[in-house]
Amino acid sequence: MKKLIFVILALALAAALLTGCAAADVILKYSPASLNTIIEKFPTVVTDHTANDHYFYLSVDGVTTLKVSSDYSLTGTEDLVLQTPLQPFLDAGLDPARLGAGYRTDADSLYLVADFGAGTGGKTSITDALFESAKADRSVLSYHAALDHYGIQLPAGKFEWAKDETVNDKDIVFVIAAKPLADLGVDVQNVEGWVFKTMQDDAGKDFDVLLKPYSLES
């Protein structure tokens, strides 16, 4: 009887802990609404190409674009794609043949790609489609306190958006990890159109990135 009571109490405690963890996940709870607020206020940043290639496109300038698959089962290993002009990276010393996993190129563009499996079916909004990535791997969703941003991690970069665009001068930010490119000989401090910056993670460790920020109010 004592053993049975112990097992019941242990199961109850485990259930309580799981419930508490779910309730405490404020990043997952609030970040979709934050992105929706930006898209509703600035609807032209998103275009629906799903009838042609299964992707929603998010772009401020039509130059650098986040492509989000509406159905991960239809887009192979490229569920999220950050596309940007290749030439600035070539000018800074990139040899595309040396790029590894997480990248690809064609004649005009550099692509950062991420695979999150088959997903859970087709989605009708870019936000729902984007958060399929966090369903597959919760660790890719984060909050960047220094910029007051939420973000989705790709193997070679990141997409970030302001928690509150009304008080933030960087509403949308595309991020490329600088070190992998620097290791290939790219002059990462001189890539046209990108801002080189050394930042700190939550543990206080420095890391280098290339940033392309946009203020949608301006």
The answer to whether 175 and 160 have CB atoms below 8 angstroms apart is: yes
Domain-wise residue ranges, the chain: 27-214
Read off the pLDDT band of 202 (50, 70, 90). low
Range 18-30 average pLDDT: 65
Rounded to two decimals, the pTM is 0.87
What percent of the chain clears pLDDT 90, i.e. is strictly above it? 82
Read off the pLDDT band of 21 (50, 70, 90). very low
Q: Work out the mean pLDDT of the chain and round it to a whole number.
A: 90
pLDDT of residue 14: 38
pLDDT, tens only, 49-88: 999 999 999 999 999 999 999 999 999 999 999 999 999 9
